[in-house]
Amino acid sequence: MALQVLSIGRAHSKELGPTSSKALSHIPGEDGWPIVGNTLKALADPKGFVERMVERHGLVVRGHTFGQANVSLLGPDANELVLLDSQKLFSSGLGWGSILDLLFPRGLMLLDFDEHRLHRRALAVAFKSGPMQAYLGELNAGIVAGLARWPRRREFKFYPAIKQLTLDLAATSFLGEELGPELDKVKRAFIDMVAASIAVIRKPLPGTQMRRGTRGRAFIVEYFARQIPRRRARGGQDLFSRLCHLTWEDGSLLSNEQIVDHMSFLMMAAHDTLTSSLTSFVYRLATHPAWQEEVQRELRGFGLAPGEPLPFERLDDFVTTEAAFKEAMRLTPPVPSIPRRAVRDFEFKGFRIPAGTNVNVNPLFTHYMPEVWPEPDRYDPTRFGTAASRGRHKFAFVPFGGGAHMCLGLNFSHMQAKCFAWHFFNRFRVSMAKDYRPSWSMWPIPYPRDGLKVTLDAV
């Protein structure tokens, strides 16, 4: 029964090709240069580009990027329409497919409607409170061990260091400790897959990143499949072992293929987003020392010794720290734009938009709208206090998306950010050279181009 629903959902969404610019000519916008369209302008300055389009054309804008016509629907109302998708108008699979299909096929974000609901319900079990407590144990140990290796009292690059730490943490909390000598190969394969998913050359030609990515996937598929019977036999607290024991509603286990696809997708979804958000978090607190002290004051108030594992029960006590983390993600959302494809005709703000249209919503643009966020460029965690949040549109702050596809790792991300903050800010004061202004690339996932040079001193 369940499998029947799955195949119907998939077949339906695969049939719908993208709409041409001609069919969208009634929508205000710009097609840009022949062939490349607006791609280069959008890549060079994603935020400025969308803001200029809105200034000229309004909140519904036609464009042409990455070889396809599309319509950007902008602002909180648009986010609500597309992400909440109460009328089931938008396919996530067809939106993300061109980016992720080759390397992360059939991950949760690539499934739609009934099929998606069934898979999400099965996976959600691995993110309930019991499993989360076990992951926190691994995060505590991994963060303490990782931070011990970071240099003190001299400048170093934060971004590569946190990227490595996030990967090491994923290896333990997602895969478990017992990977043995193959651990490095798994990490390498995984890095190649992630890099390939955003590579410009989309065919696995010799020497390309895409070739390395598809080879990495072949290894990961073989490796995970080999591990599944072992994990089923002995159990385990890590995410992978839990996936090996997940069941459908009728009690049958997920197939090997499903476990491999979900597992690699989860690792991809977690890795660069956590790296990006923790980097912008530390960057904002390094440039706002008064807020860094506020966070440190909050942590001291917990009455725990620095280096002690953060207990699961204390996660709700991070009020200032959580606001500081959210404000960093407002200014630098790890997923700046979210794609979909309309599966039926619909209307928005007076425009009729046909089925097949590639649609996107834009957290980056929304997070800087001055009518929602006064003085949008200012870093101000008080925006997330109870009083300041009252009355704000529910879809004005969307770093984790919303609706049916809302990030399944939201609580995990907050937990990792808090655990990191607990061990990091309790022990270190982070600073940057005076007059240092790192430049950020906002695409595809925000990162500081020069790695973000910081210095750590003992508190």
> For residue 163, how far is the Cα from the chain centroid?
14
Of 32, 105, 309, 409, the one binding ligand HEM by CB under 6 A: 409
Give the CA distances from residue 113 to residues 14, 86, 121, 345, 401, in Å, rounded to whole numbers and listed in that order: 13, 11, 12, 17, 16
* Closest CB 120 distance from ligand HEM, rounded Å: 5
**Residue 102 or 338 with smaller CB distance to ligand HEM:** 338
Query: What would the two tokens of residue 130 be?
Result: 């019991």
Give the CA distances from residue 159 to residues 76, 192, 447, 452, 456, in Å, rounded to whole numbers and listed in that order: 31, 18, 8, 6, 14
**Residue 100 or 353 with smaller CB distance to ligand HEM:** 100
Q: With contact defined as beta carbons under 8 Å apart, do 419 and 143 qualify?
A: yes
| Rounded Cα gap, residues 208 and 248, in angstroms | 39
Query: What would the two tokens of residue 371 be?
Result: 């009518």
**Residue 41 or 246 with smaller CB distance to ligand HEM:** 246
Contacts with ligand HEM in 106-125 (CB under 6 A)? 108-109, 120
Q: Is 277 in the site for ligand HEM (CB under 6 A)?
A: yes
Of 102, 408, 430, 454, the one binding ligand HEM by CB under 6 A: 408
Q: Is 326 in the site for ligand HEM (CB under 6 A)?
A: no
453: which strand partners? Answer: 157
- Specify the 3-state DSSP secondary structure of 173: helix
Stretch that binds ligand HEM, among 17-25, 65-73, 196-204, 263-271 (CB under 6 A): 263-271
Q: Is 171 in the site for ligand HEM (CB under 6 A)?
A: no
Of 413, 428, 430, 455, the one binding ligand HEM by CB under 6 A: 413
* Closest CB 387 distance from ligand HEM, rounded Å: 25
428: which strand partners? Answer: 458
70: which strand partners? Answer: 63, 358
Q: Report the candidate in 327, 400, 414 with the shortest Cα–Cα distance to residue 139.
A: 414
* Closest CB 201 distance from ligand HEM, rounded Å: 24
**Residue 41 or 326 with smaller CB distance to ligand HEM:** 326
Stretch that binds ligand HEM, among 1-9, 60-68, 372-380, 409-417 (CB under 6 A): 409-417
Of 29, 97, 381, 401, the one binding ligand HEM by CB under 6 A: 401
Residue 304, φ and ψ in degrees, nearest 5: -110, 150
Stretch that binds ligand HEM, among 200-208, 250-258, 268-276, 364-372 (CB under 6 A): 268-276
Give the CA distances from residue 274 to residues 170, 174, 285, 333, 334, in Å, rounded to whole numbers and listed in that order: 10, 14, 17, 11, 8
| Rounded Cα gap, residues 38 and 331, in angstroms | 24
Of 54, 171, 269, 442, the one binding ligand HEM by CB under 6 A: 269
Stretch that binds ligand HEM, among 15-23, 148-156, 216-224, 273-281 (CB under 6 A): 273-281
Q: Is 60 in the site for ligand HEM (CB under 6 A)?
A: no
Q: Is 343 in the site for ligand HEM (CB under 6 A)?
A: no
| Rounded Cα gap, residues 96 and 272, in angstroms | 16
- H-type alpha helices, 177-255: 183-197, 209-234, 239-245
∠ Cα 278 284 287 (to 5°): 140
Q: Is 90 in the site for ligand HEM (CB under 6 A)?
A: no
Stretch that binds ligand HEM, among 62-70, 160-168, 227-235, 272-280 (CB under 6 A): 272-280
Tally Cβ neighbours within 10 Å of residue 15: 9
Of 263, 270, 331, 396, the one binding ligand HEM by CB under 6 A: 270
Of 90, 373, 384, 412, the one binding ligand HEM by CB under 6 A: 412
Stretch that binds ligand HEM, among 50-58, 177-185, 389-397, 399-407 (CB under 6 A): 399-407
| Rounded Cα gap, residues 399 and 302, in angstroms | 28
Q: With contact defined as beta carbons under 8 Å apart, do 203 and 210 qualify?
A: yes
Single-letter amino acid, residue 56: R
Q: Is 273 in the site for ligand HEM (CB under 6 A)?
A: yes
| Residue whose token pair is 């903050």 | 421
* Closest CB 55 distance from ligand HEM, rounded Å: 25
Footprint of ligand HEM (CB under 6 A): 92, 108-109, 120, 266, 269-270, 273-274, 277, 334-335, 338, 399-401, 405, 407-409, 412-413
